[in-house]
A and B are shown apart, each in its own frame.
Chain A
Amino acid sequence: MSEQDIAQAEERRIDEAVQTADIAISVRGLRNSFGDQLIHDGLDLDVRKGEILGVVGGSGTGKSVLMRSIIGLQTPDEGEIHVFGESMVGRSDDEALAIRKRWGVLFQGGALFSTLTVAENVEVPIREYYPNIGPQLRDEIAAYKIRMTGLPTEAGPKYPSELSGGMKKRAGLARALALDPDLLFLDEPTAGLDPIGAAAFDDQTRKLQQTLGLTVFLITHDLDTLYSICDRVAVLADKKVTAVGTIDELLATDHPWIQEYFNGPRGRAATAAVSRHKDREQTQAAQRPSDGRR
């Protein structure tokens, strides 16, 4: 082996080490099945720290199952899952606790505890994990978390049954953010919201992600969400992640499902909307060339 080879190998090793440090979630060879039905087979996926990764796929391709496997609600048949470098498969609940404090999950329907008010819902994780935080401070924390997700102050003492779908999702998000997690799982956050509400939710997610430095694992069907806030998109098809990358990179692949997904009528509409938006921004920028901030 020449010196050059050794140097190259060394470089590769360092590269890998750097990569692991940058990876929040790493899934290797995941296999899930329900009875005879194979959902995932040899699924690999990396989520980088600080990115918003959109996960898309047709109905029944196991997007939610993937999320449930990562957060430990579903034990996979085979495979390795690492979150922040710690293996999650086969961990007891007690051992997983330290990692669990570092993530927040927003379930599809919000999954708020129906007997507690919105504010009390937000307080549950704090009360559970950090009893040292006094009741006064806990109330204050719940208050600013609720405001942070864009809920009006009147929402605090309301029960989940009194909330609209969009407010439930925001309240669920507030609960997911209660412990200032590093990692946020969102399961179809904009499903069932009107377009304005969905766009507002996307903006909020982006803003929170930037303020708090979050890594976001986002399952969605919403093309607008993909275009507007996702850094990368992972496509689930054929029981594995067939492609990961920016939307432009995905468009360059010739996988039929991906082509149909992004180039179907809805996909084209979303692309058009994004380019219109960009055009408008450019025109606006051109109209005020002497703007001091630019």
Chain B
Amino acid sequence: MNKAAELVEEQRDGSNVVRLSGSLAIACLGDLPGRLDAVQGPVGAIDLSAVDHMDTIGAWTVHRTTKRLGCAVTGASDDARRLIDAVGELDEPVPIRPDHIHPLRRVVGQIGEAVIASGATLMGLLGFFGATLIATWSVIRHPHRFRINAVVQRFEVVGVSALGIIGLMSFLIGIVIAQQGSVQLRQFGMEMLTINLVGRLTFRELGVLMTAIMVAGRSGSAFAAQLGTMKLTEEVDAMRTIGVSPMEALVLPRTLAVVIMMPLLGFYASVMAVIGGGFLCAIALEIPPITFVQRLREVVPITDLWVGLIKAPVFGVIIALSGCYQGMQVKGNAEEVGLRTTAAVVQAIFMVIVIDAFFAVFFTWVGWN
């Protein structure tokens, strides 16, 4: 029923006439718009008498051509005339995209914005840390406002549920360190030093660091997404109106849970890594487990354990605060939740590693090495 739109240029009464035929609807237009654009004036008229159907897109194509060539429309049916008039009334330029900016200017602008944004984030995080401390203080003064249920629930989500994945990961890391270490140390005939390597490295650094990375990925991101969604659905605002402080009800339980869980998980991860290392030593180096444990006790000073355990809650604070802070910053649309979640994880891991470097210097300085 719908014929493809066609175009014929012909001479009539000494002037050029563009004769359109078929169906001027979007589905049948084909390359007609391009061919109409190629028509050069002077054109006396556009003849629509052979057009059997038209939609607004067809009408617009005719309208823009008449405007460009300054010609008239002839032979239009009432419907076609009505549509052409209707779209003609709407002819007004509408910007499609935001104004184009010169690339160089944009790059400079973006760098500037990024610097300002990082500064603002740092200040915001500091402020958020302060707000958390204030909330903690007010909960200490009014202990009945402490949400024990929320905290315990977070214990499970942050800690207990993570046991499997963190345990497996640490066990494998222990194996990798022992294996790689033993290959190098064998060259000096010092394979027994693999035990030193595994024991000291995991308790001092890797156990807690890997746990922090895993918790940032599991819980930090979850905090950002949860709080972000609650911000979007105005739950946080509703809370405030009812008189419940979101800092006390949402941020504090999460922070507390992570701060308490991090040392436990870190210790657990270290132990699992040592077991992994011991496992490899028993299999590949034929060091019996009893010797492994004996030697471990001789070479790993107790300060190594303290180093790990002191760092863990600090990492926990960083992870929880950056997760909650980013979540609370969400406004606007759902896309923001995703961006903020990513930011929370990246920031947390980055800051954990920076702080870890400071700790390394600090512990050397106090002589715990």
Interface residues in B295-314 by Cβ distance below 8 A to A read none
Q: Are B64 and A140 in contact, CB atoms less than 8 angstroms apart? A: yes
Q: Are A179 and B96 in contact, CB atoms less than 8 angstroms apart? A: no
Interface residues in B99-144 by Cβ distance below 8 A to A read 99
In Å, the complex CA distance between A62 and B276 comes to 57
Closest to B93 in A: A143
In Å, the complex CA distance between A147 and B96 comes to 12
Q: Are B95 and A153 in contact, CB atoms less than 8 angstroms apart? A: yes
Q: Are B60 and A144 in contact, CB atoms less than 8 angstroms apart? A: yes
Interface residues of B, Cβ cutoff 8 Å to A: 25-27, 29-31, 33-34, 55-57, 60-61, 64, 82-83, 86-87, 90-99, 332-335
Min CB distance, B237 to chain A, in Å?
18
Q: Are B93 and A161 in contact, CB atoms less than 8 angstroms apart? A: no
Given A130-B26, A157-B95: A147 touches B82 (CB 8 Å cut-off) = no
Q: Does any Cβ of B come within 8 Å of A117's Cβ?
A: yes
Which of A33-41, A131-139, A269-277 is found at the contact surface with chain B?
A131-139
Q: Are A144 and B91 in contact, CB atoms less than 8 angstroms apart? A: yes
Supply 9 A–B pairs (Cβ within 8 Å), ascending by A: A114-B335, A120-B97, A137-B64, A140-B60, A143-B96, A154-B95, A156-B95, A161-B333, A180-B25
4 tightest CB-CB pairs across the interface, nearest first?
A143-B94, A180-B55, A156-B94, A147-B90
Closest to A138 in B: B96
Q: Does any Cβ of B come within 8 Å of A119's Cβ?
A: yes
Q: Are B34 and A134 in contact, CB atoms less than 8 angstroms apart? A: yes
Q: Are A117 and B96 in contact, CB atoms less than 8 angstroms apart? A: yes
Question: 14 other contacts beyond A148-B87, A161-B332, with CB at 8 A cut-off?
Answer: A101-B27, A115-B335, A132-B31, A132-B33, A133-B33, A134-B33, A137-B60, A137-B64, A141-B60, A142-B96, A144-B56, A148-B90, A157-B96, A160-B333
In Å, the complex CA distance between A211 and B334 comes to 36
Interface residues of A: mostly helix, strand, loop or mixed? helix
Contacts of B97 in A (CB 8 A): 117, 119-120, 157
Most interface-central of B57, B60, B82 (chain A CB within 10 A): B57
Contacts of A123 in B (CB 8 A): 96
In Å, the complex CA distance between A126 and B57 comes to 11
Q: Are A211 and B60 in contact, CB atoms less than 8 angstroms apart? A: no
Interface residues of A, Cβ cutoff 8 Å to B: 101, 114-115, 117, 119-120, 123, 126, 130, 132-134, 137, 139-144, 146-148, 153-157, 160-161, 179-180, 211-212
Contacts of B31 in A (CB 8 A): 132
Q: Are B98 and A157 in contact, CB atoms less than 8 angstroms apart? A: yes
In Å, the complex CA distance between A120 and B83 comes to 24
Min CB distance, B96 to chain A, in Å?
4
In Å, the complex CA distance between A207 and B83 comes to 12
Q: Are A141 and B57 in contact, CB atoms less than 8 angstroms apart? A: yes
In Å, the complex CA distance between A157 and B97 comes to 4
Contacts of B91 in A (CB 8 A): 144
Contacts of A155 in B (CB 8 A): 94
Closest to A126 in B: B26
Q: Are B33 and A137 in contact, CB atoms less than 8 angstroms apart? A: yes
Most interface-central of B31, B92, B96 (chain A CB within 10 A): B96
Q: Per a CB cutoff under 8 Å, which of A115, A139, A148 touches B96?
A: A139
Q: Are A119 and B25 in contact, CB atoms less than 8 angstroms apart? A: no
Contacts of A161 in B (CB 8 A): 332-333
Given A132-B29, A141-B60, A144-B56: A153 touches B94 (CB 8 Å cut-off) = yes
In Å, the complex CA distance between A156 and B90 comes to 14
In Å, the complex CA distance between A140 and B63 comes to 11
Min CB distance, A136 to chain B, in Å?
8
Min CB distance, A120 to chain B, in Å?
7
Min CB distance, A20 to chain B, in Å?
16
In Å, the complex CA distance between A90 and B93 comes to 43
In Å, the complex CA distance between A119 and B335 comes to 19
Q: Are A114 and B334 in contact, CB atoms less than 8 angstroms apart? A: yes
Q: Are B332 and A133 in contact, CB atoms less than 8 angstroms apart? A: no
Contacts of B332 in A (CB 8 A): 161
Contacts of B83 in A (CB 8 A): 211
Min CB distance, B87 to chain A, in Å?
5
Contacts of A133 in B (CB 8 A): 26, 29, 33
In Å, the complex CA distance between A132 and B55 comes to 17
Closest to A149 in B: B90
Contacts of B96 in A (CB 8 A): 117, 119-120, 123, 139, 142-143, 156-157
Contacts of A117 in B (CB 8 A): 96-98
Most interface-central of B61, B90, B334, B335 (chain A CB within 10 A): B90
Closest to A155 in B: B94
Min CB distance, A53 to chain B, in Å?
22
Closest to B63 in A: A144
